[in-house]
Amino acid sequence: MKHTWIMDVLEDLKSFARANGLSVLAEHLDDAKLIAAREMALQEEKVPLQGYGETGTAGKHIGGLGQHNQA
């Protein structure tokens, strides 16, 4: 995996979030680590990750994080 550094960054962010009482953010960062690991593994296998990024719906898979509401 050539992008494993991102796992360290996500872990650092999660540690900061927990240390500063941001428990929901820390949970989402756990989710982000799982998604990153899966996506990197699939990338190594050269299998496209369905449903993420292609239609802009990635946020819907993490409790609505990143969803945009239109007026």
d(CA 71, CA 65): 18
Q: Give residue 59's pLDDT.
A: 47
- When computed from its CA atoms, the radius of gyration of the chain, rounded to whole angstroms, is 14
> Residue 63's closest CA among 28, 22, 23, 11?
28
Cβ atoms < 10 Å from Cβ of 14 = 19
Going from N- to C-terminal start, the domains of the chain cover 5-61
Counting every residue, how long is the chain? 71
pTM exceeds cut of 0.95: no
Q: Give residue 63's pLDDT.
A: 53
Tokens 């949970």 belong to 27
